[in-house]
A and B are shown apart, each in its own frame.
Chain A
Amino acid sequence: MLANLINGISLGSVYAIIALGYTMVYGIAKMLNFAHGDVIMVGGYVAFCSITYLGWPPVLAVLASVVVCTMLGILIEGLAYKPLRNATSLAVLITAIGVSYFLQNAALLIWTSNTKVFPNIFANLPSLKLGGTQVAPVTLITVFANIVIMIVLTLFTTKTKMGKAMRAVSEDKGAATLMGINVNRTISVTFAIGSGLAAIAGVLLCTAYPTLMPTTGAMPGIKAFTAAVFGGIGSIPGAMLGGILLGVIEIFGKAYISTQLSDAIVFAVLIIVLLVKPTGLLGHKVNEKV
């Protein structure tokens, strides 16, 4: 029971950290960045190459990964999404799927699809014993990283000028422009932050489940998107809650109901939650004023 709970939190914390990036971009730019999972994959590969081929220490590798992913995020936003700022949301969604394919296939060309085994960057840290169950250091660090990121993002969006600008843009682009906010720049910064988070998520995902392929980000990306919707998309604490709950439900479903039906159980719970509370657990209903 306790072991399953810990395993669930361990899996859920990985979903949560990915979901934070999803929810951040959705909350401000109001677009679903389906390429997020693939930016995570790129982050994983950059860290892998820095450690394995260049022999860099893990801290430097994580930094390199964050820098590359942030730049990639800005590039993707500038080339693919910015020109569609006034297009329908469907067009942007399709473009995001296109970017996702593009990144996967580019990774296939660069790194081939031979599976890489990600080094355990926390190998030196001891694991925690909790009631006879070992908690891997990567789990503790992922949960910790989740909390830190959640707090920093919340402070950032409520206290800083740029954060306030982001919230203004998310509420009403037109009014924000009238108030002298540079909407394009604000959205670019949002993407930069979201992609930087993706890099951290990529390193933590690959450390927890150390095989790396061009499709590594795809399935966790979809699960994390589910987690973000579950928690209430756009809500930062909601993403964290949704991610952890999703992981716990998945593990409990496997342990007590059936290993064959784990995904079916997860999505059944999601459907029930959305039927009862369409905005997700912590989502707010926004009344459109006409």
Chain B
Amino acid sequence: MKKRAVSAVLAAVLSMSMMAGCSDATATGSTGDGVTAGSTDSGAAGSTDNGAAAGSADNGAAAGEGGALTGTLNLGMIGPLTGGAAIYGNAVKNGVQIAVDEINAISPDFQIAYNPQDDEHDAEKSVNAYNNLKDWNVQVIAGTVTTNPCIAVSAEAYADRVFMLTPSASSPDVVAGKDNVFQLCFSDPNQGSASAQYISDNAMATKVAIIYNNSDAYSTGIYQTFNTKAAELGLEVVSTTTFTDDTANDFSVQLADAKDKGADLVFLPIYYQPASLILQQAKGMGYEPTFFGVDGMDGILTMDGFDASLAEGVILLTPFSADATDELTKSFVSKYNTNYGETPNQFAADGYDCPYAIYRALQYYANANGGLDVTGKSAEEICTILIGVFTDPGFSSDGVTGSGMVWTANGEVNKAPKAMVIQNGVYVGL
């Protein structure tokens, strides 16, 4: 009897661990075959607050007025709402939410129903999240937030003809060969070459070291263009070292190499978590160069328990500054502060600009074609309209991450970057 009870418990433990492993296992096997089961633990977090947004759907007011934009647009968002990159995903989710609320307040005739989905920064889970959105009849996607998942999802969206505007996935692979995918952030080549340009223009360093993650497309992409541009500008790169996701604990060799070769600036085209270890270990060995990061560094100050003094003096290139004084930024920052109790980072700002770009593009089309009712339009029809407008040289959108953003035919954005330095635990514009 006792033995039977024990084996029952054992069976329960086993099957639980099976289920726990399942989200990984299913996802690996089923890239793209419409299975939604994989999202057992990720979907829950994503769907917490979409009820409110979806609730305001039925406003179908008089359509067909000359030039008016009407109907309800189903806007999906995919990003890491939990997991190691959750800071990015939640910032984008909140930024998009603020913009959606503002757009919905403009006119009852045009409304956006908003549905954010979690992908835990995992390509397979991201495709599952995308399939969830398709079941929800998504018309446009603001996402996905991180690069590797975005490459996976954009391939699906390209085949299905769903328009995607990614707030922050910056690899050129995201848009390459896919006419339906556009970026709101700089592409990696732009970030890398803009960083080299900035360092050179401001004579910030004579000798530069680079530490990048060679198991990550984002990091490698920025590194390559930085290196090319640095050579062009005559910046001396004295040390180039790498790490992988599996060896992202110990950076003593990489830092010692940079130190021994006299680098006075270390370029870190990596995410903030390994960056935090690099800062800590550099301090431990008494090495104090200027650390220069890109948008992946954004978020380092919000890590639970992070000693902000480690990041003192770190410079990062990002198109958004929360302490800019223009009306648009001030209003966005104060709304974000009120709603979410923190200062928005660059990802939140990128997220905020996405719905506006889509809204303005639809408006642009409506004005030129005597009105547009989006209700009931298929994702493919919306996609064709938006591709037409985004590649129209007459169309541009303003936002908190830059004014007069225009897009090239291959989906990359043009706008001016801005450098920030971390002082006393906050970003200060340079």
Contacts and interface: CB of A to CB of B under 8 A. Distances in A.
B384 to A, nearest CB: 38
Q: Is the interface of A mostly helix, strand, loop or mixed?
A: helix
A157 interface: no
B250 A251 contact: yes
B247 A255 contact: no
B17 A112 contact: no
Interface residues of A, number: 48
A119 interface: yes
A84 B87 CA distance: 42
Contact of B41 (A7, A108, A114): A108
B38 to A, nearest CB: 14
Q: Is the interface of B mostly helix, strand, loop or mixed?
A: helix
B136 interface: no
Nearest to B9: A79
Contacts of B243: 259
B82 A114 contact: yes
A83 B20 contact: no
Interface in B230-274: 241-244, 246-247, 249-250, 252-254, 256-257, 273
Contacts of A136: 284
Interface residue tally on B, bucketed by range: 35 or more
B381 interface: no
B86 A112 contact: yes
A278 B17 CA distance: 33
B307 interface: yes
21 contacts: A4-B252, A4-B253, A10-B250, A11-B250, A79-B6, A79-B10, A102-B16, A102-B20, A104-B20, A108-B82, A112-B82, A116-B304, A117-B307, A209-B250, A211-B273, A219-B249, A250-B250, A254-B253, A255-B256, A255-B257, A262-B247
A286 to B, nearest CB: 30
A263 interface: yes
B83 interface: yes
B305 A117 contact: yes
Contact of A83 (B6, B86, B277, B304): B6
B84 A115 contact: yes
A259 B277 contact: no
Interface stretch (A93-101, A193-201, A233-241): A93-101
B276 interface: yes
Interface in B297-341: 303-307
B332 to A, nearest CB: 24
Contact of A114 (B14, B87, B253, B256): B87
Nearest to A216: B249
A134 B305 contact: no
Contact of B84 (A10, A213, A219, A259): A213
B29 interface: no
B120 interface: yes
A290 B13 CA distance: 37
A115 B304 contact: yes
B249 A220 contact: yes
Interface core residue of A7, A95, A115, A133 (most chain B CB under 10 Å): A115
Given A95-B14, A251-B252, A260-B214, A115 B241 contact: no
Contacts of A254: 241, 247, 253-254
A56 to B, nearest CB: 15
A4 B254 CA distance: 11
A119 B303 CA distance: 12
A112 B20 CA distance: 14
Contacts of B304: 52, 114-117
Contacts of B7: 83
Nearest to A133: B285
Contact of B244 (A118, A250, A263): A263
B394 interface: no
Contacts of A98: 13-14, 17-18, 21
A119 B247 contact: no
A23 B34 CA distance: 45
A188 to B, nearest CB: 14
B314 to A, nearest CB: 15
Nearest to A252: B253
B280 interface: yes
Given A4-B256, A113-B84, A102 B249 contact: no
A59 interface: no
A50 interface: no
A117 B256 contact: no
Interface core residue of B9, B18, B252, B286 (most chain A CB under 10 Å): B252
Nearest to B16: A102
Contacts of A263: 244, 246-247
B10 A113 contact: no
A95 B244 CA distance: 29
Interface string B20-33: 11000000000000
Contacts of A209: 249-250, 277
Interface core residue of A83, A220, A263 (most chain B CB under 10 Å): A83
Interface core residue of B20, B41, B253, B284 (most chain A CB under 10 Å): B253
